[in-house]
Amino acid sequence: MRNRLVLLAGWGLGTAPLQPLADALRGLDERLHVEIEPLPELPGSDPQAWLEELDDRLADNAWLGGWSLGGMLAAELAAYRGERCPGLVTLASNSSFIALDDWPSAMAAETFDAFRQACATEPATILKRFALLCSQGAADARGLSRLLVGGAPHCPPAALLASLDLLASLDTREALQGYAGPQLHLFAGSDALVPATAAGQLLDLLADVEIGLIDNASHAFVLERPHEVAAAIDAFLTEVSDV
Q: Which residues are catalytic?
A: 68, 191, 219
Angle ∠(8,68,81) on CA atoms, nearest 5: 50
Q: How many CB atoms lie within 10 A of CB 84?
A: 14
Q: Could you give the residue ranges of the DSSP H alpha helices within the chain?
A: 19-28, 47-57, 69-81, 109-121, 123-135, 141-150, 157-169, 173-178, 197-205, 221-224, 226-242
Instruction: Report which of 220, 141, 210 is spatially closest to residue 188, judged by C-alpha positions.
Output: 220
User: How far is 127 from 143, CA to CA, in rounded Å?
Assistant: 15
